[in-house]
Amino acid sequence: MDSDIGALVPRTRVLVIDDSNTIRRSAEIFLKQGGYDVYLAEDGFDALSKVNDHAPALIFCDILMPRLDGYQTCAIIKRNRRYADLPVIMLSSKDGLFDKARGRMVGSQDYLTKPFTKDQLLEAVRLHLKEVAAVSPN
């Protein structure tokens, strides 16, 4: 009976945008183990349609991607009023101050360096969803 109730409760949706299949799959496994519904996109263009289709509660976005990089993708998402408050966490193998500052300039809330651990990924989700809940008018 408990499993029936669990199926009725909507799970939090997280979108992972990364051109690396390995990073996407690792993040998917970790997040699913944390109890989240996970959607994957391999580049910024793919991500924009998935943001619209699935309305995630949080996005992890790689910086270095072909066609539309993570900074451009984040900026486009944040320009839409509907998604302006959606937490975006940048993912990168670089952890320079400039990269972090540039991420903040386009609207990202945080920065996670790759490779990340399961605990780092899940803690980032918990932290940012808690912040959203704290400022939400509901």
pTM score, two decimals? 0.89
pLDDT at 108: 96
pLDDT along the chain (138 residues), means of 10: 50 96 97 97 96 96 94 97 96 85 94 94 93 60
What's the domain range around 20? 12-130
Number of domains in the chain: 1
Tell whether 135 is covered by a domain: no
- Cβ atoms within 10 Å of 113's Cβ, excluding its own: 14
Task: Write out the two tokens for 74.
Answer: 């984040």
According to DSSP, residue 12 is labeled P
Tell whether 66 is covered by a domain: yes
CATH number at residue 21: 3.40.50.2300
Tell whether 2 is covered by a domain: no
Tell whether 104 is covered by a domain: yes
SS3 46: helix
Tell whether 123 is covered by a domain: yes
**Buried/exposed 64-96: b ≥16 CB within 10 Å, e otherwise:** ebeebbbbebbbbbbeeeebeebbbbbbbeeee
Tell whether 126 is covered by a domain: yes
pLDDT at 2: 46
- Say if CB 100 and CB 111 are below 8 A apart: yes
Rounded Cα distance between 74 and 12, Å, is 20
Tell whether 7 is covered by a domain: no
Tell whether 46 is covered by a domain: yes
